[in-house]
Structure 1
């Protein structure tokens, strides 16, 4: 009798579960921006995760095959041909919002720091800036800051060069040169000018991390699975795609400030971003930590919100000195909506991330910060925050970049052409 009752109840219970699942309402996004896990989340997660894993495996096998067949080097210190191609200048063509950007960010335990970026845009304009901090000296800024929109001279066109800043690649994925010759302004005396000349060489110490091929499938699958899917969604995801890779290393050289020479030697990350479409108005905000530790390890970890396609994307990687391995960040509990959503930025905070099957507890204490804007109409606002950190008890230092959308009451999806 009991068996008959149970056998009769099972189909009814299953029907009830299916009915409730089919009619389950979608959870509203936090602040109307950050999507949450909804009823189809796990199915979508598994689907995307398997696809990304297969794609990474195919890419890895192709790379190994090229090595075995002797086709992997380009003749310059055994740099992979694929990597050498990535280092070439991107042809902006006639795409109105195309971008080709090089960026350096480094700092040392002693307090020396440099941040430099040159983003080539169509029409021979650049978004460019330079920050320089030498121990014992005032923080120096390129004269145009806090604005970065600059017009190139004829001799600078087609190069990563504008207003005295000059970036050149010597060996793909190995060495770059950063030069500056001109005036900079002290932060607290912006009417004054300092005569600055520098010649710096950035050298790679780790393998490059290409987000197209090495981003954690777990993080990307989790982010995509939260979003409402449609044909338009995937078309937009493709249209907003940019190639972005980063590489940890060090930057060294001499800096002359008003005739006084200084030696700069700091750990430094370099990145390269290029693509047909970069509109800062499509980004709601991001926070990105560049961390350098006393034991030689370094990391980049953060979270990006681009509401039209990926409103909760954890990004980053961890470089382990002991075996020179680079691991993608697989998870991180740093949530953008919990930190500075109203632009009141925390100065002492922490989070935990996972990489290489190991957990890392991070504490960040902000020591100094500066702001600037990108875009002709100041579409994006950035905070550069120099900080001291501690990761699993190991002391270190970091520069943390906080980006905010600076265009009020704009629907980001309407800005996509």
Structure 2
């Protein structure tokens, strides 16, 4: 292993670079994954795969939770011009958010996706979902990411239905093999590395669709019709401290194309994983992204995401050029925090884009590791249910 791991130092002490035996390691990994896929398994060498999830109905329901305090089973709906954290962007009132934001710890029913007025319920697996919210929302303030307590409170009621436009994209079975192999081959292989790879695994899938329904804001009812991406992640635990950074571009174009493309840096497994997919009108099946020319360390490494930039990526053998421009004005880049101790800081940038000249819009999500220690204000932690006091949250 020592000979296979010879190579240059990591950029910023994080991002592994190609070593002497990169090509050899890439071929090994490609062969392993290709063989497992041919046998009806999955792309990931550590995942259970389709045989561990025999039906869409089982995948779409709340998963049995382990006893680990950081057990994960999360369902997210990203909507263009709104985001289910919950954010709702109103053209005159401003960007609305849940009153407890930027804190994202909600306490509700473990058998349903329901908490503090927000409910997400599957109607048809991989097909349609009912989403509702009724309660107060607070106007977002740009002045202070961590203190949103003085924003104006507005009464909101949302009733929408999400419908799939395309088949789901499963990160266990659908990620491009070449992109995965290229990323894995850069890392230093050891028994510890492969153990970490197994322990950090999360089942994750995404699906592009659209929302339709109504929203009542301060007594006035509006029609809602938005393009949307949803995802579902679950596993033994969700450890935000393992993630160094990521940048994900969740976009919709005027011609109906929907896509998610970006880079994830999780040094215990892959410090520079290129990933994504493109959904084209006329085909239900997403096309995996095989190459992303977005060098994460060049874009906001010190904590401030860029406003304007461009990069290229390859999907289906075709190279695309993506131009990104941040939306100016109040609420253009809200911030929230994830984890018991606010281990992750996440910036949601609303953007306008052009993909090969075709206009579009969406959200770019930039995640940053907050570093060691407890970053969650004691005033918030003090309001958590008493059973949380006994948990090891570190």
Instruction: Give 1:35's aligned residue.
Output: 16
Q: Show CA shifts across 1:122-164 (max 9, x none).
A: xxxxxxx300013333110100011112333xxx342211111
Q: Show CA shifts across 1:173-200 (max 9, x none).
A: 0011111010001124944211111111
Q: Does 1:45 align with 2:26?
A: yes
Q: Does 1:383 align with 2:347?
A: yes
- Deviation, structure 1 residue 224: 0.6
Between stretches 143-152 and 352-361, larger displacement belongs to 143-152
Instruction: Give 1:177's aligned residue.
Output: 130
- Deviation, structure 1 residue 24: 9.6
Instruction: Give 1:309's aligned residue.
Output: 269
Correspondence 1:16-415 to 2 at 5 A: 25-59=6-40, 82-107=55-80, 113-116=81-84, 129-152=85-108, 156-188=109-141, 190-367=150-327, 368-408=332-372
Find the aligned partners of 1:332 and 1:224 in 2 and give their Cα distance. 15
Q: Which has the higher helix share?
A: 1
Contact map agreement 2:5 2:21 (CA 8 A) in 1 = no
Please list every run of 5 or more consecutive structure 1 residues that lacks an aligned counterpart in the other structure: 1-20, 62-71, 73-79, 108-112, 117-128
Q: Show CA shifts across 1:373-396 (max 9, x none).
A: 112211100000000000001110
Please list every run of 5 or more consecutive structure 2 residues that lacks an aligned counterpart in the other structure: 43-49, 142-147, 375-391
Greater radius of gyration (CA): 1
Contact map agreement 1:59 1:213 (CA 8 A) in 2 = no
TM-score normalised over the length of structure 2:
0.86
Change (3 A) 1:365 1:317: same
TM-score normalised over the length of structure 1:
0.81
- Deviation, structure 1 residue 25: 5.0
- Deviation, structure 1 residue 311: 0.3
- Deviation, structure 1 residue 81: 5.2
Q: For 1:158, what is the secondary structure of its paired residue?
A: coil
Q: For 1:223, what is the secondary structure of its paired residue?
A: helix
Instruction: Give 2:47's aligned residue.
Output: none
Find the aligned partners of 1:385 and 1:235 in 2 and give their Cα distance. 35
Q: For 1:31, what is the secondary structure of its paired residue?
A: coil
Find the aligned partners of 1:187 and 1:299 in 2 and give their Cα distance. 27
Q: For 1:48, what is the secondary structure of its paired residue?
A: helix
Between stretches 181-190 and 284-293, larger displacement belongs to 181-190
Contact map agreement 1:104 1:114 (CA 8 A) in 2 = no
Change (3 A) 1:31 1:158: same
Contact map agreement 2:241 2:371 (CA 8 A) in 1 = yes
Q: Show CA shifts across 1:64-104 (max 9, x none).
A: xxxxxxxx9xxxxxxx9532221121111312321100001
Contact map agreement 1:56 1:214 (CA 8 A) in 2 = no
